[in-house]
Structures are given as C-alpha cells and as structure tokens.
Amino acid sequence: MTTNLSVNVNKIATLRNARGENVPDLLKVSADCELFGADGITVHPRPDERHIRREDVFNLRPVVTTEFNIEGYPSPDFIDLVLKVRPEQVTLVPDSPSQLTSDSGWDVEGNFDFLTDVIERFKDAGIRTSVFVGTEPENIIAAARAGADRVELYTKPYADQFPHDPESAVAPFVAASEVAHKAGLGVNAGHDLNLDNLKFFHSRLPHLNEVSIGHALISDALYLGLEETVRRYKEALL
C-alpha cells in the first residue's frame, strides 16, 4: 500500500516567530513541500501560539491542496478552530497546554466518553479523525469503539531503541498495526521518525497509511535543501 508523507511545518513557524516578521514564509514553505512531493501538511496549534498561530491555520486552508491535518488537544477553542477550518484530518493528542512536545498516547478507555463525543462532532462535519496512541492493544481497540477512523502511533520508543536493536524496536508497532487493521482503523505514525529509521519502519509495518514528520525533516533541510529532503523522505516510503 502507499504510505503518505505529511510534513509538519511547526518548526518553520518557530523560526519565523523568532524575528516577528514573515521570514521564512510559512505559506510558501508549505506550498513548496507539496510541490516537492509531500502528500500533506500538518500543523499543531497550541494555546500560547509559540509556533503555529490560529491565523496561520486559517491562512493555510486555501493554500494546502493535498491533505491538511490539524493536530492538538481537543479543548473548546481547538474544536471550534477545526470545525471552522474543515481540514481533511484532525489528530487528537493528549498534550497539556504547557507541554514542549507530545510524549505519550491517550488513555482512551479512561477518556472514552470525552473522546467519543469529540470524534462524533468531527465526523459529523466530514473530518477524518485520528487518535494519538501508544502500541497498547486496549487503547487501539477502544479508539475504534469510540468511532475513530485512524490511530496515530507514537513512535519515539521505536526511534530511541532503533540504533540498538531495530527488530525489537519495531515489533510492538507491527503488532499494533495489525490490531488497528483488524479493528477497521487506518494507521498513521509519527514522532522522531527520520532518514535513518524511517525506511526500516516502513518496510516492517503492513498497514501504514501515513507518517507525519516535522522536526527531523526541517532539520535535514538545513543541510540538504527542502526539495532534496522531501524527495529522500518520500523515497524511504517506497
């Protein structure tokens, strides 16, 4: 199956915000990522707007011609933003407002009623909904019961173990993707995937719809250039 590459452009916004102007231009970089072969653009707006701003999300909507994926904690403000923008996909993460980055998946059963209500609102609006989870089968199955269309597997544990034992690192994710597939869910993945570990990960997972990559890809682009970097990440998914 084809695995899509969604480029997370948060780090572009972080760099832009450091000077308070519009360099680099978030809209142009996003359009260029698509031009160079990316299958989607991901943003994660946070309440403090330390990188992606609410205004960016609205401005990106007419620019993104592939798949627009908005991820975040489903607070009332976030839900309102997503319903107004109508992206192709929303990814629900359990982050608190103060978190530097995502560091775990949902306890889906413990938040089941809350997530079910949020998922229903997004699905009624025609927005594909993905739930950020670890590899625990119970959370994946609960996400399916809650009405999710996909899960996104939190891949930092894989990335951390990969240099030492690739097969052991990927094994829980292979099993998780099988559980998700049997439950009728699509499978996304993201966090610390890079040019060193992505090809192996992709080669082992039997049901991988999409990877979302930001920090590593933007960092690689400083050395390789954006076009070559997107090309290499796409090549790793062949």
pLDDT of residue 160: 98
pLDDT of residue 13: 98
Question: What is the average per-residue pLDDT within 112-130?
Answer: 98
Q: What is the pLDDT of residue 165?
A: 98
The phi and psi torsions of 160 (rounded to 5 degrees) equal -70, -40
Write the CB contacts of 10 (distance below 8 Å, at least 6 apart in sequence): 43, 44, 51, 52, 214
Residues classed as catalytic: 44, 71, 191
Give me the pLDDT at residue 96, please: 66
CATH number of the domain enclosing 171: 3.20.20.70
* φ and ψ of 68, to 5 deg: -100, 125
Mean of pLDDT values over 82-99: 88
* Domain enclosing residue 219, as ranges: 4-236
Query: Span 113-125, mean pLDDT?
Result: 98
| Residues contacting 237, CB < 8 A, separation 6+ | 3, 4, 5, 198, 199, 202, 211
- pLDDT above 70 (res 102): no
Mean pLDDT of the chain: 96
Does 98 score more than 60 pLDDT?
Answer: no
**228 to each of 123, 143, 184, 218, 232, how far by Cα in Å?**
36, 36, 35, 11, 6
The mean per-residue pLDDT over the stretch 61-90 comes to 97
pLDDT of 104 higher than 80: no
Question: What's the DSSP call for residue 215?
Answer: H
Structure confidence at residue 192 as a pLDDT band (50, 70, 90): very high
Res 136 pLDDT > 70: yes
pLDDT level of residue 100 (50, 70, 90 thresholds):
low
Question: Which stretches of the chain are DSSP H helices?
Answer: 10-17, 26-35, 54-60, 76-85, 112-124, 137-145, 156-161, 166-182, 198-204, 215-224, 226-236
Q: Give mean pLDDT, residues 141-161.
A: 98
Total tally of structural domains belonging to the chain: 1
Q: What pLDDT does 17 receive?
A: 97
> What is the arithmetic mean of pLDDT over 38-66?
97
Compute the average pLDDT of residues 148-166. 98
